[in-house]
Structure 1
Amino acid sequence: MTASAELPFIPARYYARLAELLVARGQDAQAVLAVAGINEGVLAAPEGRLTLPQVEALIAEVYRVAPNIPWAFELGRSLKLSSHGMLGYAMLSSPNLDYVFQLLARYFRIIMPTFRLQYRRASEHDEVLLSVTAKLSAQNLLFHVETIAVAWHWEILSLLQGEMPAYDLYLSIGSPRHLERYQSLKPARWHFGWPIQPGFRIVYPKGLVGRELAMADPGALQLAERQCSELAQQTLKEGRLVEWVTAMLTYSRDVITTREELADLLNISPRTLDRRLQDEGASFRELSRQIRFQRACDLLQAGQLSMLEIALELGYRDGANFTRAFRREAGCSPSQWRSHAERQIK
């Protein structure tokens, strides 16, 4: 993994709340943070950000020290609209849920870049889909899917001032040990083990998204939206686009592999993405090539997959295409490279 892929790009505010929950439960939050390599000052900073490895380490350590506490559920239950900064204020100021969901689909990466949110309107219902845009450990994935789903329930219920009809949530996680806690989350009907993709699907009855919200404020919404747009563009303003693209490609799953998809996350055109990368002395094609080669080396060294499995994992049609591409980079075949790496270890 390249050093540039370690850049901080996940907002720290949610994990600061998790640290508060640790203290409330009698745990040594400082020790947990130290194991994860997280400075308390980063959590306290309004714009503090963490790397994905730090988040992975934090979640692992939290469950190691207190495995029987439903941390994801408790964190989700404790979050409020104000927890999401400007995006939360934009949601509060929106005229209806339709506008709220459109906002979230555009700006969800501001609050959780490792996930993508989609909003779809159908003839008989409306739905929200959460999918993963980064390779997360199983534990980290389960934690965030549950946290986001529980927080989503309470926050939308709050926007509607408690007046919500029954609706359905389909989560990819299995039925949790603390299933009885979900009985209090009415009028939601919770379904676990959704097999389609990691994430969740929420189905609302037709007409709900058009309901007017009590705190709608066009002026405040315009201001909050402008700041959300500026936050989405911050990566470009800071001159860190190469680092961000490197990180997203390094951690990406199949849902994010093209420059078009990455440009969409930044609310810019692919041509603008190319131009900004060029300004920083890089190109998407070159970054993608380097990262794919590094992934190939990591998979070869791990020794758990066959050559064909590695080729398919990296997006090649067959083993022959993978071998040719690898030879261009390394000067030898993948099998020769693996043999050499195994000898080095011995």
Structure 2
Amino acid sequence: MSNSKITLPNHYILQIINIVSDLGIPTEGWLRHLGVAPNESEESLITMPWATFRQLLLDAGRFCNDKALGLLIGERLLINTHGILGYAALSSGTTRQVVELLERYLVLRTDMVTMESVQKGDRLWVSFYENRPLEDVRRPVTEAIVLAIRNILDFTTMGTCNISEVTFPFDGDEKLAEAMFRCPVAYNQDAAGFSLPLATIDQPLKLANTVSFQEGLKVCQQELEKLSSEQTWAVRVRRIMLQSTHGFPSLEMTARRFHVTPRTLHRRLIEEGTSYRDILEDVRHQLAIRYLETGQMTVQEISYALGYSDIANFRKAFKRWESVPPSMYGARLSS
């Protein structure tokens, strides 16, 4: 993680800085110390080491003396702050189309989380999963993204998106969150997400514009293809691992997907300060935490899903990651 970088819209970074600045706290020296120099053009992108972004959030939270930093950021991320993705969402025909659009193209704004939806009973559950260990900035990042998505849905439906429940897998300011989401919010739950009623997600939206939507969708797809070609090898390998549904592909199979030799792929990963084994270890760690948080799988089932032939090896690896066995970690989540 220490060698990784993160790319975000400049506007997102500016919102963090503005929250601190609005409190009357000078930011010039702070930003200079971090090496952060946001561009005055809010439409640009800014790339920085993950460690710098993490410290930016930790500092901002300390300056604000407020656990609700993520909610304060998310409140400012309205539909017009998301570039072409916001434009396409604005023109979508139904709420379901908005959700599907965001699922596919959220990566154009941030690759820190993945958004997934699934139908359960009479509701569509939208969940958010970490694409990298967010460590001690998990709460502000997740809250900001979920609230930003809610803002998009709220605008496209003209305030009638009917989100009835929001959940987060950590502690937080429930009273403030409910005021911002305008619905019940529960912290310390299994996962981050919210639900929408199936009865309304296919109703036509008043702002729908088929031509504008198709134009926006075309640009989103072009941007996604461009992003894929510009991403580091480590990011591309990680994505293949996370998208795999039948076990993790070997180094050889992954190299074949990229039309390079295993030796070339190995060399390029080494040049980026990582390796196939390191990425696999990190993905297994991330998924193990996700599976335990859902509470739907046994330790043995998780071990099998992560490709361990012996559950003892999984327990040993998990204790190396979290300093406690997986059973104890799961018990803490459920207590």
The whole-number CA distance in structure 1 between the counterparts of 2:254 and 2:218 is 20
Q: CA deviation at 1:60?
A: 1.2
Match of 2:277 in 1: 292
Match of 2:264 in 1: 282
Superposed counterparts of 1:1-346, under 5 Å? 5-41=3-39, 44=42, 46-68=44-66, 70-138=68-136, 140-165=137-162, 167-176=164-173, 179-185=174-180, 187-194=182-189, 196-197=190-191, 200-238=192-230, 240-242=231-233, 244-245=235-236, 249=238, 258=241, 260-261=243-244, 274-276=256-258, 278=260, 282-283=264-265, 287=269, 290-292=275-277, 316-317=308-309
- The answer as to whether partners of 1:118 and 1:129 remain within 8 angstroms in 2 is yes
- The answer as to whether partners of 1:97 and 1:211 remain within 8 angstroms in 2 is yes
One-letter code aligned to 1:283: L
Pair 319,275 (structure 1): closer, same or farther in 2 beyond 3 Å = closer
Cα distance per residue 1:218-268 (max 9 Å; x no partner):
111111111111221223444x4425336xx4xxxxxx6727449xxxxxx
The whole-number CA distance in structure 2 between the counterparts of 1:29 and 1:171 is 30
Match of 2:296 in 1: none
- The answer as to whether partners of 1:15 and 1:43 remain within 8 angstroms in 2 is no
Structure 1 stretches of at least 4 aligned residues deviating more than 6 Å after TM superposition: 270-273, 319-322
Pair 243,280 (structure 1): closer, same or farther in 2 beyond 3 Å = farther
Pair 122,8 (structure 1): closer, same or farther in 2 beyond 3 Å = closer
- The answer as to whether partners of 2:163 and 2:194 remain within 8 angstroms in 1 is no
Match of 2:327 in 1: none
Pair 33,291 (structure 1): closer, same or farther in 2 beyond 3 Å = farther
Q: CA deviation at 1:279?
A: 8.9
- The answer as to whether partners of 1:12 and 1:50 remain within 8 angstroms in 2 is no
The whole-number CA distance in structure 1 between the counterparts of 2:181 and 2:57 is 28
The whole-number CA distance in structure 2 between the counterparts of 1:97 and 1:294 is 36
Question: SS of the residue aligned with 1:40?
Answer: coil
- Shifted more, 276-285 versus 157-166: the winner is 276-285
Match of 1:307 in 2: none
The whole-number CA distance in structure 2 between the counterparts of 1:65 and 1:80 is 24
Pair 101,165 (structure 1): closer, same or farther in 2 beyond 3 Å = closer
- Shifted more, 153-162 versus 224-233: the winner is 153-162
The whole-number CA distance in structure 1 between the counterparts of 2:31 and 2:110 is 20
One-letter code aligned to 1:118: E
Pair 186,212 (structure 1): closer, same or farther in 2 beyond 3 Å = same
Pair 153,7 (structure 1): closer, same or farther in 2 beyond 3 Å = closer
Stretches of structure 1 that go unaligned for 5 or more consecutive residues are 250-255, 263-269, 297-311, 323-346
The whole-number CA distance in structure 2 between the counterparts of 1:215 and 1:97 is 11
The whole-number CA distance in structure 2 between the counterparts of 1:125 and 1:294 is 35
The whole-number CA distance in structure 2 between the counterparts of 1:259 and 1:284 is 19
Q: What count of residue pairs does the alignment treat as equivalent?
A: 283
The whole-number CA distance in structure 2 between the counterparts of 1:14 and 1:235 is 18
- Normalised by the length of structure 1, the TM-score is 0.69
Cα distance per residue 1:158-198 (max 9 Å; x no partner):
2221234461111112142xx3323434642211111x24x
- The answer as to whether partners of 2:266 and 2:276 remain within 8 angstroms in 1 is no
The whole-number CA distance in structure 1 between the counterparts of 2:279 and 2:179 is 47
One-letter code aligned to 1:93: S
The whole-number CA distance in structure 2 between the counterparts of 1:8 and 1:185 is 27
Pair 204,293 (structure 1): closer, same or farther in 2 beyond 3 Å = closer
Pair 85,272 (structure 1): closer, same or farther in 2 beyond 3 Å = farther
Q: Which one has the largest radius of gyration?
A: 1
- The answer as to whether partners of 1:84 and 1:111 remain within 8 angstroms in 2 is yes
- The answer as to whether partners of 1:242 and 1:280 remain within 8 angstroms in 2 is no
Pair 42,115 (structure 1): closer, same or farther in 2 beyond 3 Å = farther
Stretches of structure 2 that go unaligned for 5 or more consecutive residues are 246-251, 282-302, 315-335
- The answer as to whether partners of 2:172 and 2:187 remain within 8 angstroms in 1 is yes
- Shifted more, 32-41 versus 115-124: the winner is 32-41
- The answer as to whether partners of 1:115 and 1:134 remain within 8 angstroms in 2 is yes
Identical residues among aligned pairs (%): 17
